[in-house]
Structure 1
């Protein structure tokens, strides 16, 4: 089997960690049983460009149980867990093309390998795979009946492709499912980002000023968790409604240039480019820790930081300390890449359980439904099924509408 991983001998440890995560993913366990019995993906070629983590491994085993012929590559050079990649190859027979720390050239060679699999359905985390497929076109793209997208950043790219008339396939925006962004983005990103920051620095958060750039669902989660650690939280936004919400959630709101002057930590989660820029570095507090929890490593203007610096040292793993011309220090986490995956282990399995259940069901939906090119929402029935399965796994029951209540909601005639 053709693959490119770091070391097959790591498989035993990877399998143990995959199984540990599996115990926290009851929705995927239920889907595994259904997929294994019904084989809804029999013979379907699937390529996935995702973070190669324990949770992704469990999504892959569900797709494989459903009959899919699957190949995996990484969606970020620093997010691959090499022992998990080894276990996927050794224990599950799934081709993996991912090595933690791979350079840009090797990263795109791995995407080439996923494309060479001639997928009929793709799964993406950031839209790199779909973007490359469209740049190349030809018969490989013609084979693709649809794709799914996991992240906010990826959905933004895909909608830009659609607006530009460039998107030639249907893509289901898994990120927009309620059972994805309300939980994965908020609780998963919140916990895992703080985990990455703390592992990388071992700096006490209590009493420190912690700035979050971007108050989408990921930013909300990060701000909430930082507040829970006793930090004084500032939110920076360009959207008036989100800024107002942050203020009413109890956080200070101000422009980033002002916040930078007093921040001990700045974490970006905007999905945009250079939101932490040279103008902010001009005022940034000495010793400030900066990191990114958005998908791509462009949110922090690293070239500008390098240009303003006279020295770079690495006092700890995942921490690069830049000394600016005037002597101030700026501590960059994880080379500006996803701090929750590069310096920690990513989202907890319990929230990825719902996200990846949406992914698995969306793949089956794409096989069975011919959708037009464009970005599509996750069907409501899939969202509801995932929520119901998660509630059942948690041992929680909810009420049901009576016939009278359902009729009332469907009628306009009864008033005061």
Structure 2
């Protein structure tokens, strides 16, 4: 007789942490009015009735509200962590105990556990995937092609994930639609610039307790995340240097008042380094070799490969933790390099991630992107799709209303003028 295999219902650190987590989830909700309005509508309309959904996200207080909104909308949802160091264990416990949402996430989980959780999620046979870095989608198309026919679509909100999805499509393996949440105006203008900017510096300060004023801060990459880090760094009194590979962004950084130079030149000048490029080995052995003693290196890009930590570890005589999420690599030259958060997202490894008010818009985009996929099931072509402009603007409108901010409307005369080619001047 064949034994019955019982699937795990959740895998978290400690269910007893739930009361603390629930309190923090409720606190975050005070700053998330847009998602709250969407959640209330979902609860009435049930747009995800009969839909199996998995979300691979940073398990934080803000993500909790997205998961609750999806469940209230009728989704049979599972949540797993998208990063080993970003999980808030008390939040995971509350989602399980108080909201009945299966969670597979433990802060500090190793890579084997992470990949096992990815496969547990795929065992759910999802119709929709909410991805953060496209690991789940990549695993699906590489290892579980028999499940592709069950997929309505996926959503992605990181630059790294969008690059991977485009590569999958170019290789002919992305055979279903993917919503590009990352490039929605109400996501990257605010989440990337204001969220990453503030939370990255928050992570650096919590991990080190250094004074940024007077320090030289090197920001690798001047996309929206890099702009946010550079602007916030300057606002706290740091002298900011930007490194770039894109000439247009480099000019923009110069015009914004920052010094721009190659990393090999910046490496000897910087006190603190932040990578936000989405690429690998942005800081390499030749850069470590010329850094100051005690230089602080961290990453705010999605994956932990932006800093070549394997080569740094191979050079080091000793690696020791000198503070929480702060490791000191002692080199044969006698100097040391400080690495924060094991090279993973410093804002989530050493702090609490983006403020709730910013994630309110990002997760509103995620929720509405999922609804859009369901409403347009079977009619969207494979590949990347932008968030519809009307959805983007509706999120902005809801946010403004929640902030009690009013804006102008076009008059009939102005509408006629904008839609006419012969009105002239």
For Structure 1 versus Structure 2, the TM-score category normalised by the shorter chain is: over 0.9
Q: Is 1:282 the counterpart of 2:289 in the alignment?
A: yes
Taking the aligned partners of 1:98 and 1:313, their CA distance within structure 2 comes to 26
The corresponding residue for 1:297 is 304
Aligned counterpart, 1:377: 386
1:54 aligns with 2:61: yes
Structure 1 residue 260: deviation in Å? 0.8
Whole-Å Cα distance in 1 between the matches of residues 144 and 110 of structure 2? Answer: 25
Stretches of structure 2 that go unaligned for 5 or more consecutive residues are 1-7
2:73 equivalent to 1:73: no
| Residue equivalent to 2:365 | 358
* Cα distance in 1 between the residues matched to 2:216 and 2:399: 36
3-state SS of 1:212 partner: strand
Instruction: Give me the whole-angstrom Cα distance separating, in 2, the residues matched to 1:155 and 1:348.
Output: 23
Within a 5 Å distance, the mapping from 1:11-410 to structure 2 comes to 11-369=18-376, 370-410=379-419
Any idea what SS the aligned residue of 2:420 has? coil
Query: Separation in 1 of the partners of 2:212 and 2:224?
Result: 21
Mapped partners of 1:380, 1:120: distance in 2: 25
Residue 140 of structure 1, CA deviation = 2.1
RMSD value over aligned CA atoms?
Answer: 0.9
SS of corresponding position for 1:61 = helix
Instruction: Work out the CA distance in 2 between the residues paired with 1:262 and 1:286.
Output: 11
Question: What is the CA deviation profile of residues 210-266 of structure 1, one whole-angstrom value per residue up to 9, with x for unaligned ones?
Answer: 000000000000001111110000000000010111111111111111111011000
The alpha carbon displacement at 1:40 in A equals 1.1
Cα distance in 2 between the residues matched to 1:363 and 1:313: 44
1:64-89 deviation line (CA, Å, top 9, x unaligned)? 11111100110000001110000010
Matched residue, 2:4: none
Distance 2:175 2:327 in 1: 41
Instruction: Give the Å deviation of 1:334.
Output: 0.4
What's the offset of the Cα at 1:141? 2.0
Output one character per residue of 1:283-308: Cα deviation in whole Å (capped at 9) or x when no partner. Answer: 11111000000000000000111122
Tell me which stretches of 4 or more aligned residues in structure 1 moved more than 4 Å. none
Give the Å deviation of 1:282: 1.6
Q: Output the CA distance in 2 between the equivalents of 1:150 and 1:292.
A: 18
1:104-162 Cα deviation digits (max 9, x unpaired): 11101101111011110010010011111111233322111101001111111111111
> How far does residue 409 in structure 1 lie from its aligned partner after superposition?
1.0
TM-score, normalised on structure 1? 0.99
- 1:184-214 deviation per Cα after TM superposition (whole angstroms, max 9, x unaligned): 0000000100000000000100001000000
Give the Cα separation in 1 of the matches to 2:51 and 2:320. 48
Deviation, structure 1 residue 101: 0.5
CA distance in 2, matches of 1:101, 1:256: 31
Deviations 1:21-75 (A, max 9, x none): 0111000111111111111111211001000000000001111111111001100
Cα distance in 2 for partners of 1:273, 1:206 equals: 29
SS at structure 2 position matched to 1:267: strand
Q: Answer with 303-312 or 175-184: which moved more.
A: 303-312
2:13 to 6, 15, 33: 6
Structure 1 residues 4-30: Cα deviation after superposition (integer angstroms, max 9, x where no partner): 111100000000000000111000111
Shift of 1:414: 2.5
Gapped runs of 5+ residues in structure 1? none
C-alpha distance in 1, partners of 2:334/2:187? Answer: 44
